[in-house]
A and B are shown apart, each in its own frame.
Chain A
């Protein structure tokens, strides 16, 4: 104990000059409150240091003896699990156990043992489920210092693993543990010392939370295309957040809820008040998004398995600049291209359709004078010369672009310079700069009703904005930074927001309530590269970097289908408009695949999966695959005429 006190004193001495400097600085600027605050914190810091060092030392003393225990415990449990009839569910335990034993070893600076542990137990099937995580674990194997720098391991340490088990397999495990506890040294070679058992149980208690969802273990009826039944990957959620998830029933109707539920007794009252005022007053009239006028509706073919879509591929050729992102406006008239060089290029896809521009002030004044009563002033005119236009304003690479869905006169751009800019597409200039994120913006999405948009960034925040305010009205998530957030997408009724996280999960947030995480979808094994809701709002499709596609039932948080066809990242997903019976998926392996979504859900509902595996072809899940001549497809979108516009990129 004396030793530890000495070390603390030494530490304090080390930092003391800095602290004194800071105090002096605060006093000179007359910041009294900050000063007192700082003093208080300083004291508490010393106290905690005191405590942690003591516990650390205790641990190191206790752990220094039993490195071997880690190996014994892990091999013991994995032996049991691989011989169990419920292997497919119990497998989930292995990953958290592996991770925490490994990190424990590393934390106590047993570098060699930890590498040995990795080599001994990294199992080929096991590795393929979590290959990206294992890569990161391998990266930090050199020094315990890296452990704290790595985002992922930090997340592991501060969060709990959620496991979904059936009652039977859970009991099996419990019996097994009881059995080992009662074993004596004499009657078995599978003997665990009390310290080993306590190590196992402490990890179970500290980091694992079991969620029992069924009575009996049954194999799932997920519709599979070229994939096999695999054990689930466990989710890990920050411990604070883990208790707050509200698995309430979702409203999956088509139209946005007009009235916001009043949440009066919240601490941030001014926020919610502001929100209510904002949202309800500024919601525009329900816009039947993408629904063409009634007279057009008759001429347009309804797409379905018997009326397949036409695809028009636009290939962007020989760009000298590096293209980072591409987006199409909702009416497929305009194409926006974001470059690494911080420029944005807007071009009209139809060469006959010129871009519009606001008339000059002189003309406008003339117009005003001429027709004072007429409110429908035509303020726009064609740009005669070209059908493309460059927007300059950002200071670094553009990463994402989003068109306003209802009118196509606004464009949002997110950049590496951590700002979001709103551009007006008839004035051709930047209107607003939104600043909140402190790391590069990765994705922006407009709500289908317009007016509201969400942004996500490498800093792990999702911000919700209305276009007329420069501050976000909501920021998710409150706890637990687990790395960048890659994608955000709105539910068709604009009440929910899905975000793809770096730990391969998809979170669903209710934007009507503040900070309401309502679902976590878990099952991908690679970084998610694309998300899309079905037009009826019941399903969510996600594609990941290795080409796997999962169809989710968002109400019940279940996987409906696993489709594995593409060899590389999924770049974009589209449902056929209105009906949603067709699913189109584009990938950067230069193919577009066409799936019969109606058939997939039908097979799932009728639990035909067993019979289907035998003659999968007879059910015609996959309707067609369209190949291009080595042109990776970056974006697809349905136009009003039900023609699929695809954007490809080639560098010859």
Chain B
């Protein structure tokens, strides 16, 4: 509302009819029109002044909302008898609005005055005892800085976040507000020494080159070298760009090499990859979920790449989920979303399934168990499809393999012995239920094996 509108907005004024009505209900039927007009004017004036006075109390007590007590105080101040009975515990006025019959269907406010049954009052459960004032303490600021604790709100507002993401330059100026915009340093290219440049060239060439011997050495160097901090961003960039390009050209071999480089970087204890996850994760995820990874998908072993990448993915989640809040959830959500979108090919579903299964016992129990049933249905549907390709057949076999590899051990540890086939059918559907039942019962008879399902067949990669 603009100020002009505010200035001209109507103010409190009692309608003539209501005063007439009130006068009538108080045994003053024979008032002339003039006297009622006068009364209206007077009453309006008095109530306006009372409200002004009540506002003084409201403001004195620094309330943002006027309460009935304030009005009561204002009445006392003018030596009027306060009206009682208009106070509710929740602070609302006990009025309700109805439309009156006659008088042109105007809205009328009246007091909701329902009768109480004495029995009900007596037998009703005791209301909660009103709590007394309690005091909580926390640090709002420590030496001028707000600590990030639960009691304090998030320091960065949502608006700031959006502007930050839209215009990073702006946030930069905001953070260094003591500097002029012109004084902000333009990003300085960080120059590598000649030796580092040579090392970078050699390593990247060796990793994607044709000589297996050299590659082994390069990967070993990546996983053990301690002074790689300066070229780490470049290597990460190399990996992510490499994955992008080779994914389009279905260059399976190179993709596998790049994943091995990633693995080496993760193994290196002296490197700290947290800053580069935004580049590494997309690369890995595309290796897991891509529709096609090689030129001849029915013949080439792209399954190995998917398995390997998903185990790396699980490893990274385990490594960084402690320091990055919500990392696991985000990754798991991506897999689940991929799994639930029906129009994607079965290969991608395979990738998502493996990715989820690699995440460990908990994820399998919580997320993989519920989706097996739909997976079974989907497989039954595609098997019935007459135009089932050779590719899909192998995929189904692979999926079966994954399920029999991960699910029975997980089931065995999570549920207790009495296994019931009906129960299996109910939980995992008609397709996988019986299968899993037989596998689980078999495994239960065997002694507990030490082999963990997370051990992926890495031999296929090398």
Interface residues of A (CB under 8 A from B): 119, 122-125, 127-128, 131, 134-136, 138-140, 142-143, 145-146, 149-150, 307-325, 335, 337, 340, 345, 347, 349, 396-397, 399, 416, 439-440, 442, 458, 484, 486, 527, 529, 545, 568-569, 571, 588, 592, 594, 615, 617-618, 620, 623-624, 626-629, 632, 634, 646
Cβ contact within 8 Å between B137 and A312: yes
Question: Is B61 in the interface zone, CB < 8 Å from A?
Answer: yes
The distance in angstroms between the C-alpha atoms of A93 and B62, with both chains bound, is 33
- Work out how many contacts link A and B, with CB atoms closer than 8 A: 170
- Residue positions of B touching A, CB distance < 8 A: 2-4, 6-8, 11, 13, 41-42, 44-45, 48-49, 52, 56-57, 59-62, 64, 67, 69, 73, 76-77, 130-146, 151-153, 155, 177-180
Report yes or no: A316 in contact with B146, Cβ–Cβ below 8 A. Answer: no
State the Cβ distance, B4 to closest chain A Cβ, in Å.
4
Closest 3 CB pairs of A and B: A308-B144, A320-B130, A124-B4
Residues of chain B with a CB closer than 8 A to A568's CB: 64
Query: Which residue in B48, B69, B179 is a CB contact (below 8 Å) of A322?
Result: B69
> Are B177 and A311 touching (Cβ within 8 A)?
no
Q: How far is the CA of A143 from the CA of B134 in the complex (A)?
A: 50
A522 vs B151: C-alpha distance when bound (angstroms): 40
Q: Which residues of B contact A311 (CB under 8 A)?
A: 139-141
**What separation, in Å, do the CA atoms of A345 and B134 have in the docked complex?**
12
Min C-beta distance of A419 to chain B, whole Å: 14
How many angstroms between the C-alpha atoms of A69 and B339 in the bound complex? 83
B59–A545 CB distance below 8 A: yes
Give the Cβ gap from A414 to chain B, nearest Cβ, in Å.
10
Nearest-CB residue, chain B, relative to A326: B62
B56 to chain A: which residues have CB within 8 Å? Answer: 442, 458, 484
B4-A618 in contact (CB<8A): no
A588-B62 contact, Cβ under 8 Å, with A142-B44, A309-B141, A312-B137: yes
Main SS class of interface, B: mixed
Given A140-B45, A150-B49, 20 other A-B contacts at CB below 8 A?
Answer: A122-B7, A123-B4, A131-B7, A139-B11, A139-B48, A145-B42, A307-B143, A308-B144, A308-B145, A310-B139, A310-B143, A311-B139, A317-B135, A340-B61, A345-B133, A399-B60, A399-B61, A442-B56, A486-B60, A588-B62
11 CB contacts below 8 A, A to B, read A127-B3, A139-B11, A139-B49, A146-B48, A314-B135, A316-B133, A317-B134, A322-B61, A325-B61, A484-B56, A618-B180
Describe A's contact surface by its main secondary structure: mixed
Q: Does B62 contact A632, Cβ atoms closer than 8 Å?
A: yes
Contacts of A618 in B (CB 8 A): 177-180
Q: How far is the CA of A255 from the CA of B151 in the complex (A)?
A: 42
**Is the pair A313, B140 in contact by a Cβ cutoff of 8 Å?**
yes
Whether A416 contacts B76 in the complex (CB less than 8 A), given A349-B135, A529-B62, comes out as yes
Nearest-neighbour CB distance to chain A for B337, whole angstroms, equals: 33
Q: Among B6, B45, B69, B144, point to the contact of A145 (Cβ < 8 A).
A: B45
On whether the beta carbons of A397 and B45 are closer than 8 Å, the reply is no
Give the contacting residue for B41; candidates A142, A399, A486; CB below 8 A: A142
Q: Judging by beta carbons under 8 Å apart, are A317 and B133 in contact?
A: yes
- Give the nearest-CB partner of A145 in chain B: B45
Contacting pair B133 A628 (CB below 8 A): no
Instruction: Decide: A149 near B144, CB < 8 A? Known: A127-B4, A529-B62.
Output: no
A427 CA to B446 CA in the complex, in Å? 81
Once the chains are docked, how many angstroms separate the CA of A162 from the CA of B131?
A: 53
- CB proximity of A386 to chain B, nearest CB, Å: 11
A317 to B137, CA, bound (A): 11
Q: Which of A119, A143, A311, A345: most chain B Cβ within 10 A? A: A311
Q: A617 touches which one: B73, B137, B151, B178 (CB < 8 A)?
A: B178
Q: A139 and B52: CB pair below 8 A? A: yes
Task: Give bound CA distance, A345 to B132, whole Å.
Answer: 11
Q: Which residues of B contact A325 (CB under 8 A)?
A: 61
The interface residues of chain B lying within 8 Å CB-to-CB of A399 are 57, 60-61
Structural contact, A138 and B153, CB atoms closer than 8 A:
no
Chain B residues lying within 8 Å of A313, measured Cβ to Cβ, are 137-140, 151
Beyond A145-B45, A527-B59, A588-B64, whether A397 also contacts B3 by CB under 8 A is no
